Structure 1
């Protein structure tokens, strides 16, 4: 669901808002049925889906991912990265200018991280409910104030290595005292393979829904072109 000013007003833009609300309600019902099926029908013994812990888990993974990405060393967080996000971050680190790194600082969270979506489903059904294969996936909205600076290592005349802030590379205040507000939709997922639950993994980030994206999805489902 769009956040803040991106969300159509229910008073002045009722039609567009109702389009989004209908989709939200439909998805909530579908997701709830799927989660309950995994919890009470398909998987035995009944799993702990960690529904009420997932925002805290996501917050920890979010901080770890950006801290390691800033340093240019993904090894400590690599076991918790899904393949696509690992490839993306690795490529971005490789494209950095030589002898540069980032300084990322999370100044504060603006409100608590909010669980926007929690889905579950079976990828392969087995006659033995203790050996199922499936997945749970959560989307957490994280709103924070953070800063980012690109720093280059240079050698001074006396041979000492200095760190110099690159011009135009700052997100937030130049002195790092204040950050910029950032809203991200952080996606984590957890697999069950042959009845064994794995750790929560970082899938990446996603975007808010829009009225246009909802309508396009509806047309595709009906077999219509996007312009019809």
Structure 2
């Protein structure tokens, strides 16, 4: 069985459409597993400050279009703000990489200490955000439905994308991700078919980040965004068919690790929305550690990618 590092096959379904179409008979669709169908991880190269500035600019632009003061303006402005925040990755989202992707405690002690300090600080902030949500909004402190929801959405999303089911994707995905999928489906040639299959989990899914962004000022203001990042290690297969024939090179089971971002919203006077898929992210690295206020030391550099992520 083939094994890929995290996100190595991102966008593979797009590249398949440009490959030569060496084919075999489509009858193998019923006996072989379909191959990987991955999202391209969302970029997180900007700092939290830059992200906040962009967010404020968008909200201000929307508010400027509203006419006159009053309850209608406040309601529309709040709704616009909720829509904008829901499409952003909440600040200080930290995805802890495995031990072998962290700075070495023996050869890179300084970076390892900085890494662990920021990780613990962000985990504590996330804990406080969930506690305040429980105190002010009566939210459950621990979401027992989180991992089952993430796994179900993960499978349903890729199944719907492979078969071009736009209606299902509109319920599963956030706004921006839905439009990305929809555009890809619309541009898919009519003689091309995809079949995706989930083969199983290679390890237990884990919650890597779970936080609440409260937009209100305190108790009684129900406006908030809940966000979670779930690590899913699974084996998937994808088969591409062209004109009723299977494209050579597709259909091999592939092990893939993905960090799926889920979000849900709560508005005052409105029931909480179900979980939706925002997209995927990568493991956090030293560039994000430094974005939290730790200045780089002269000569420091990081290299992304398997094996050299923490190279100097």
TM-score (norm 2): 0.59
Contact conserved, 2:177 with 2:279, CA < 8 A, in 1?
yes
**Residue 200 in structure 1 maps to residue 275 in structure 2:** yes
The number of aligned residues is 202
CA distance in 1, matches of 2:112, 2:182: 39
CA distance in 1, matches of 2:248, 2:132: 54
CA distance in 2, matches of 1:92, 1:84: 13
Aligned to 1:180: 254
Aligned to 2:166: 74
- Alignment deviations for residues 124-150 of structure 1 (CA, whole Å, 9 cap, x no partner): 337x71x51111100000011111221
How far off is 1:4 after superposition? 5.8
Contact conserved, 1:80 with 1:199, CA < 8 A, in 2?
no
CA distance in 2, matches of 1:79, 1:56: 17
Deviating above 6 A after TM superposition, structure 1's stretches of 4 or more consecutive aligned residues are none
CA distance in 2, matches of 1:212, 1:48: 33
Tell which deviates more after alignment, 183-192 or 196-205: 196-205
CA distance in 2, matches of 1:11, 1:110: 30
Aligned to 1:157: none
Aligned to 1:21: 116
- Alignment deviations for residues 65-88 of structure 1 (CA, whole Å, 9 cap, x no partner): 000001011212422321011011
Aligned to 2:19: none
* 2:130 aligned counterpart, secondary structure: helix
- Indicate the structure with greater strand content: 1
* 2:293 aligned counterpart, secondary structure: helix
* 2:166 aligned counterpart, secondary structure: coil
CA distance in 1, matches of 2:259, 2:182: 21
Higher relative contact order (CA closer than 8 Å, sequence separation 6+): 2
**Residue 212 in structure 1 maps to residue 287 in structure 2:** yes
Q: How well do the aligned residues superpose, as a CA RMSD in angstroms?
A: 2.5
Structure 2, unaligned stretches of length 5 or more?
Answer: 1-95, 296-300, 302-312
Aligned to 1:114: 206
- Indicate the structure with greater helix content: 2
Structure 1, unaligned stretches of length 5 or more?
Answer: 155-162, 174-178, 221-226
Contact conserved, 2:265 with 2:273, CA < 8 A, in 1?
yes
**Residue 138 in structure 1 maps to residue 228 in structure 2:** yes
CA distance in 2, matches of 1:88, 1:208: 22
How far off is 1:166 after superposition? 1.9
